[in-house]
Copies of this chain bind each other. A is one copy, B any other.
């Protein structure tokens, strides 16, 4: 079997300070599709070209940040096997019942050593992408906002990235694509992990506090869409962190900005494709600037400091 185990990042739940303001933001400015609201007041969104019921869930809370990140796995048997693997790794798991998230099957939840709550699940209802499964057009007219095609990945900041890396690589089937080293030339400051040919499905940066979110990322189809995305940010007075620019890591062409609650998000395009047989790329401490912001070759102070 070629695509087994963990398929992709499937959903992320964010905390937002003002729910309706955030709904307007993610729907009208980012251009996601609202797909539902649940009894606990959470609002569900998907990118237009995703078929699963949702990929972003917003929950109103007094503090911004990420509640959890969920990965879709191939099937129920895979879910059971991966849960056993996580437990064998020494991490306790919890089962959330089907329906706890709208249109979603049973979820296995656990906290990884960086302090983030990660979930695995095998089912989410297919609600389509607005096109028929028969003779579809390549895109849907009338999209609003930046209109990314999918939720793509997260970059998470946390404490024990070494153990989290082992968990993802040894248990969950991810492989290392790139890494950024610290001044000692050995310790990993950042790691980029994939469960697919994407240059990353998840990334971690070593940080003093556990469980922090650096950004959630949405995929655009071209560099022209990145420009359009930046224009839309300006039109809507979205606070831009940096960009348009290119990352050295992954080669992605990108723009970082903040949602109304201060959660950083990225809209990006491109990046190479790779495979688990590829030699990982290493960025040295001296070139950490180029690794992150390839054009400026220097970090801005927000990159390392501002997380939610």
Contact = CB atoms under 8 A, between A and B. Distances in A.
A283 interface: yes
B3 A7 contact: no
A246 B227 contact: yes
A81 B307 CA distance: 46
Contacts of A113: none
Given A198-B197, A240-B296, A278-B51, A248 B174 contact: no
Given A222-B223, A223-B222, A72 B138 contact: no
A278 B129 CA distance: 11
B231 A2 contact: no
B3 A175 contact: yes
Interface string A215-251: 0000001111001001111110100100111101001
Given A138-B248, A221-B270, A279-B126, A2 B196 contact: yes
A245 B244 contact: yes
Contacts of A255: 295
Given A2-B5, A234-B290, A224 B227 contact: no
Interface string A177-212: 000000000000000001111100000000000000
Contacts of A301: none
Contacts of A172: 2
Given A2-B7, A4-B5, A275-B8, A134 B282 contact: yes
A295 B240 contact: yes
A235 B294 CA distance: 9
Contacts of A272: 49, 149
A253 interface: yes
A281 B133 contact: yes
B240 A280 contact: no
A250 to B, nearest CB: 9
A284 B134 CA distance: 7
A280 B132 CA distance: 11
A150 B275 CA distance: 13
A41 to B, nearest CB: 29
B4 A4 contact: yes
